[in-house]
Amino acid sequence: MSNTALKKVEITERDPKVRNKDFKEVVLGYTEEEAKQEAKRCLQCKHRPCVQGCPVNVKIPDFIKLVSEGDFEGAYEKIKETNSLPAVCGRVCPQESQCESRCVRGIKGESVGIGRLERFVADWHMKNVEEKPSEIKLNGKKVAIVGSGPAGLSCAGDLAKKGYEVTIFEAFHTAGGVLMYGIPEFRLPKKIVQKEIENLKAIGVKVETNMVIGKVFSIEELFEQGFDAVFIGSGAGLPSFMKIPGENLNGVYTANEFLTRINLMKAYKFPETDTPIKVGKKVAVIGGGNVAMDAARSAKRLGAEEVFIIYRRSEEEMPARLEEVHHAKEEGIIFKILHNPTQILGENGWVKAIECVKMELGEPDASGRRRPIPIKGSEESLEIDTVIIAIGQSPNPLIKSTTKNLKTHDWGGIIIDEQTGATSIPGVYAGGDAVTGAATVILAMGAGKTAAKSIDEYLIR
Amino acid sequence: MYKIIKKRVLNPSVKSMEVYAPAIAKKAEPGQFIILRVHEKGERIPLTISDFNRDKGTVTITFQEVGKTTKLLGRLEEGEEILDFVGPLGKASELEGYKKVAVIGGGLGTAIAYPQAKKLHNLGAEVHSIVGFRNKDLIIYEEELNQVSDKVFITTDDGSNGHKGFVSDVLQQLIEEGNKYDLVIAIGPLIMMKVVSELTKKYGIKTIVSMNTIMIDGTGMCGGCRVTVGGEIKFACVDGPDFDGHLVDFDEAMRRGAMYKEEEAYSDHICKIGLGGN
Ligand SMILES: Cc1cc2nc3c(=O)[nH]c(=O)nc-3n(C[C@H](O)[C@H](O)[C@H](O)COP(=O)(O)OP(=O)(O)OC[C@H]3O[C@@H](n4cnc5c(N)ncnc54)[C@H](O)[C@@H]3O)c2cc1C
Ligand SMILES: Cc1cc2nc3c(=O)[nH]c(=O)nc-3n(C[C@H](O)[C@H](O)[C@H](O)COP(=O)(O)OP(=O)(O)OC[C@H]3O[C@@H](n4cnc5c(N)ncnc54)[C@H](O)[C@@H]3O)c2cc1C
Ligand code: SF4
Ligand code: SF4
Ligand code: FES
């Protein structure tokens, strides 16, 4: 009995007017019945186009079939075969441009809610199944992982299961990378991330926080300490600036600083917690990606009256997940598209206004998107008191600058062999945003898995 | 967890702690700092490594109780532990190759300048330390500085000990008297570093200052510690904290340092009336 509805089974979301005042999760997820109904929309296509759209080739029709049959744990096992962080990916993958973009059901109507189902299955497992650490026989080899974002976590998990003694070194006081300090609680509850990390610890992975590799130990010293291989998953933490006047005025944040204060340091609970944040009444967020959406929605939740997203191209080109753009609008974020900041104006050292020039779209550029061109004389200024810059990040140069012979691109990305993840130094592998520049959770995870496989081959050889 | 091995009270608001952190002690160099968090809900704050002992595996921090976190830290006793302690961060000061150096410390900056003076002394440079305090009860690190300096000059704002006036006056006098410094290191309040830098610029003496900006991660990730140096954005946590005093935009730094004044006052107030993690 299949479900022929053109639309996805609706998913419960909290009222925008209520949720934009707190940090609790926005999307509440499917019930068992809803999940089964949605699963029945899947046609079980023989040629499995959806699987091709997933960077880690989750066995989509197979797990969905199990969901439709009510075998949720079976579905979980199926997803886990290729994806080690389903509760995270189900929530944050840009499904509309990956798995769901290829779904046959999407030709006429909406695609199957693959992400929603993946999330349901992972949440169901977390709630109902006690994780039993399986006996793993250690093989006597040690691997060091630098960074505990999705790339590091998945690499660590795969290696630990193969019997390696794995230690993750993390610069911050909490493991999880962007999942902890970047993506806000209302989109990805932190207890989910912590649970994943607990699971890794249960299979023997050691997590050493407060360890800035390159400072406290160099990569070379990790080998001296007895590690047989190293994986670098240090992410893309270096914030970009616009290089326009006024960027150092008080009230101008990078999204990294703004979100770290909120997510990692829990500034939204100030003064219960000790880290303060200044939000202001009128906030301008520059950029059109997930980071910009998260910053804007966080600012709104912290009490800003008006929050603007200022983006230089049109909405079509916005790199943010469709769902988040939609959520942001629902929550009252004002979109100023085709606008580009030219300067930030101050008064007594504090932000007072932002001047933008209007843009129009010209011919496609190298990225394939139409190039935005300023319209001369169209400058206008907008009164605001806070600016959040969310125009991108590049890999942090700290490891590169302290590691001899580690080859990187001019823009900072570590150069690897695409097939294996091997860097220019034998025994040193890398993956995730540190290699690609700011990308996605699932790509970082996939890179961690690829490196784990290569490290295994390298060490048993 | 990082255990406090030894605690000393240097003056009514300045305390010093020797903390067991062997991995950091092994790598620490003068000019570097650590970031710590006292408890689970605490803020991350940067403190300079004011001394280290590689054999004992300890790192010494010296801090002034100015707000919530430093006061909480000050309440910890020997044997107790600090939750998070990360380092060594920042660049080590470049101190090789100098013959005669004036090391200037303002208030607490004296403790921060001490490891530099010590290293310069060990490298064979002639070291003149000029340190200033508001009054004689606040003097710290006098003994330590005596051991690593060829001359120590102490000033107090009120004249209760040593020279009455500012460190910059003493420096100027010493230069006028013919002392040929090839480097000046100035560490202390921004206004002091600014005045010293303006002075040494006149005489063309290379000057290093240490920028104590607001910081969060300390690894170049948040950009909160940015300072303008020679017209370029630099991150104090990774590009510094030492910078060329003649190139730093001090006015901007002073403004940015005051960004959270109101919130700090509020948080500290709550801390005092006992709602904070006491
Ligand atoms: C606000 C925001 C929202 C996002 N939203 C989405 C989304 O909805 N969907 C999506 O797919 N992607 C999203 N992304 C992108 C995604 O989070 C990243 O692509 C992904 O986290 C990269 O994983 P990673 O493991 O390579 O690095 P990271 O997650 O950046 O982790 C790197 C870790 O390494 C640590 N580290 C760095 N240097 C050192 C060192 N020297 N020593 C020790 N540790 C070090 C860092 O502290 C960090 O914990 C978002 C990113 C941000 C910032
Ligand atoms: C690289 C570096 C090294 C430092 N080394 C030392 C040190 O060795 N000893 C020491 O006592 N302090 C040092 N500081 C300053 C120290 O970090 C601050 O005093 C501390 O963060 C104050 O925290 P709080 O919660 O106690 O006070 P808060 O309540 O946060 O602030 C109280 C007052 O202190 C001032 N303040 C706040 N943050 C800073 C800051 N980052 N720098 C300077 N003043 C600030 C403000 O005027 C504020 O009103 C250093 C700062 C940096 C960046
Ligand atoms: S991991 Fe992401 S892309 Fe793959 S199936 Fe799940 S939601 Fe889709
Ligand atoms: S393409 Fe869509 S309908 Fe076909 S198997 Fe995949 S999820 Fe099911
Ligand atoms: S403290 Fe965050 S970049 Fe320097």
How far, in Å, CA of B150 to CA of B127, rounded?
A: 5
Q: Which CATH number is A12-128 given?
A: 1.10.1060.10
The candidate with the shortest Cα–Cα distance to A448, out of A177, A46, A228, is A177
Tokens of A57: 């080739």
Confirm whether A12-128 and A241-389 share one CATH topology.
Answer: no
| Closest protein CA for atom 6 of ligand 4 | A50
Peptide bond into B241 cis (omega under 30): yes
How far, in Å, CA of B169 to CA of B161, rounded?
A: 15
| Residues B190 and B69 reside in one and the same domain | no
Q: Which residues of chain A neighbour B88 with C-beta distances below 8 Å?
A: 215-216
B104 within 8 A of B171, measured Cβ to Cβ: yes
| Residues B161 and B54 reside in one and the same domain | no
Span A21-50, average pLDDT: 95
How far, in Å, CA of B174 to CA of B193, rounded?
A: 17
CB contact under 8 Å between B44 and A265, yes or no, is yes
B220 CB under 6 A from ligand 5?
yes
B224 CB under 6 A from ligand 5?
yes
Specify if B276 maps to a domain: no
Span A428-451, average pLDDT: 95
CATH number of the domain within which B12 lies: 2.40.30.10
Is residue A229 over pLDDT 70?
yes
The candidate with the shortest Cα–Cα distance to A42, out of A123, A120, A110, is A110
> Which of B237, B239, B256, B260 has most ligand 5 atoms within 8 Å of CB, for mutation?
B237
| Residues B139 and B252 reside in one and the same domain | yes
Q: Which residue among B55, B89, B123 closes a domain?
A: B89
Q: Which ligand is nearest to the CA of A8?
A: 4
Specify if B117 maps to a domain: yes
CB contact under 8 Å between B219 and A239, yes or no, is no
Q: Where are the domains of chain A?
A: 12-128, 142-236+393-460, 241-389
How far, in Å, CA of A384 to CA of A68, rounded?
A: 50
Structural domain for B141, as ranges? 100-258
B271 labeled binding residue:
no
Among B219, B227, B235, the residue to mutate for chain A (most A Cβ within 10 A): B219
Specify if B277 maps to a domain: no
| Residues B129 and B58 reside in one and the same domain | no
Specify if B273 maps to a domain: no
The candidate with the shortest Cα–Cα distance to A387, out of A242, A266, A185, A261, is A242
CB contact under 8 Å between A212 and B276, yes or no, is no
Determine which of A358-372, A414-428, B188-202, B223-237 has the lowest per-residue pLDDT on average: A358-372
The candidate with the shortest Cα–Cα distance to A94, out of A61, A120, A55, A125, is A55
CATH superfamily of A142-236+393-460: FAD/NAD(P)-binding domain (3.50.50.60)
CB contact under 8 Å between A257 and B27, yes or no, is no
- CB contacts under 8 A, B 211-230 vs A, are 216-224, 226, 228
Nearest chain A residue (CA) to B225: A257
Q: Give A239 Cα–ligand 2 centroid separation in angstroms.
A: 24
Using a pLDDT cut of 90, give the percent of chain A over it.
84
Q: Which residue among B46, B65, B89 closes a domain?
A: B89
Q: Which of the four pLDDT bands, split at 50, 70 and 90, describes residue A305?
A: very high
Span A96-103, average pLDDT: 94
Q: Which residues of chain B neighbour A266 with C-beta distances below 8 Å?
A: 41
Specify if B251 maps to a domain: yes
Specify the pLDDT at position B278: 30
Question: Tell me, what's the ipTM?
Answer: 0.89
B194 within 8 A of A226, measured Cβ to Cβ: no
Q: Which residues pair with B14 in a beta bridge?
A: B11, B64
**Which helix or strand (DSSP H or E) is residue B91 part of?**
none
Mean pLDDT per 10-residue run, chain B (278 residues)?
93 92 94 93 92 95 92 94 95 91 92 91 93 87 90 84 80 90 94 93 94 91 93 92 95 83 60 38
The candidate with the shortest Cα–Cα distance to A434, out of A274, A279, A214, is A214
Among B19, B59, B86, the residue to mutate for chain A (most A Cβ within 10 A): B86
The candidate with the shortest Cα–Cα distance to A389, out of A237, A240, A182, is A240
How far, in Å, CA of A203 to CA of B1, rounded?
A: 23
Peptide bond into A189 cis (omega under 30): no
Using a pLDDT cut of 70, give the percent of chain A over it.
100
| Residues B188 and B237 reside in one and the same domain | yes
Contacts of B257 (CB under 8 A, 6+ apart): B190, B212, B213, B214
- CB contacts under 8 A, B 24-63 vs A, are 24, 27, 37, 41-44
Q: Reduce the DSSP state of residue B67 to 3 states and report it.
A: coil
Specify the pLDDT at position A307: 97
Closest chain B C-alpha to A239 CA, distance in angstroms = 6
Q: Which ligand is nearest to the CA of A62?
A: 4
| Closest protein CA for atom 1 of ligand 3 | A89
Provide residues with CB under 6 Å of ligand 1: A 92-94, 146-152, 169-172, 177-178, 182-183, 211-214, 233-235, 237, 259, 290-291, 294, 321, 396, 398-399, 432-434, 438-442, 444
Q: How far apart are the first and last CA of chain A?
A: 51
Residue from the list A274, A278, A396 with its beta carbon closest to the beta carbon of B43: A274
Span A435-456, average pLDDT: 95
| Residues B58 and B104 reside in one and the same domain | no
Size of interface A-B (CB pairs under 8 A): 111
Specify the pLDDT at position B212: 87
Give the tens place of pLDDT for each residue, A319-349: 999 999 999 999 999 999 999 999 999 998 8
Torsion angles phi and psi, residue B220, rounded to 5: 85, 25
Q: How far apart are the first and last CA of chain B?
A: 18
Q: Which residue has the tokens 């800035």?
A: A212
| Residues B121 and B195 reside in one and the same domain | yes
CB contact under 8 Å between A271 and B270, yes or no, is yes
Atom nearest to B72 CA in ligand 2: 26
| Residues B210 and B154 reside in one and the same domain | yes
Q: Which residue has the tokens 């995270």?
A: A88
Q: Which residue among B89, B113, B134 closes a domain?
A: B89
B225 labeled binding residue:
yes
Work out how many domains chain B is built from and give that number: 2
Task: Give the count of beta carbons closer than 10 Å to the beta carbon of residue B3.
Answer: 15
Provide residues with CB under 6 Å of ligand 2: B 33, 43, 45-48, 50, 62-64, 66-70, 108, 112, 212-215, 241, 257, 261, 264, 268
| Residues B83 and B134 reside in one and the same domain | no
Q: Which residues of chain A neighbour B84 with C-beta distances below 8 Å?
A: 173, 209-210
| Residues B12 and B134 reside in one and the same domain | no
How far, in Å, CA of A413 to CA of A436, rounded?
A: 6
Span A55-66, average pLDDT: 96
Candidates 3.40.50.1820, 3.30.2020.30, 3.50.50.60, 3.40.190.10; correct CATH number of A241-389?
3.50.50.60
Name the H helices within A135-282. 150-161, 178-181, 190-202, 219-224, 255-259
| Residues B188 and B248 reside in one and the same domain | yes
Peptide bond into A271 cis (omega under 30): yes
CATH number of the domain within which B151 lies: 3.40.50.80
Does residue B23 belong to the interface with chain A, where contact is any CB pair within 8 Å? yes
Q: Which residue has the tokens 């008006």?
A: A306
CB contact under 8 Å between A212 and B270, yes or no, is no
Specify the pLDDT at position A130: 84
How far, in Å, CA of A78 to CA of B245, rounded?
A: 61
Specify the pLDDT at position B256: 85
Specify if B265 maps to a domain: no
| Closest protein CA for atom 24 of ligand 2 | B67
Q: Reduce the DSSP state of residue B25 to 3 states and report it.
A: helix
Specify the pLDDT at position B59: 96
Q: Which residues of chain A neighbour B43 with C-beta distances below 8 Å?
A: 265, 273-275
Specify the pLDDT at position A365: 83
Count of residues making up chain B: 278
Peptide bond into A184 cis (omega under 30): no
Pairing of strands A27-29, A12-13: antiparallel
| Residues B154 and B79 reside in one and the same domain | no
Give the tens place of pLDDT for each residue, A124-183: 999 999 877 777 889 999 999 999 999 999 999 999 999 999 999 999 999 999 999 999
Name the H helices within A309-387. 322-330
Task: Give the count of beta carbons closer than 10 Å to the beta carbon of residue A212.
Answer: 25
Specify if B199 maps to a domain: yes
Specify the pLDDT at position B265: 60
Specify if B240 maps to a domain: yes
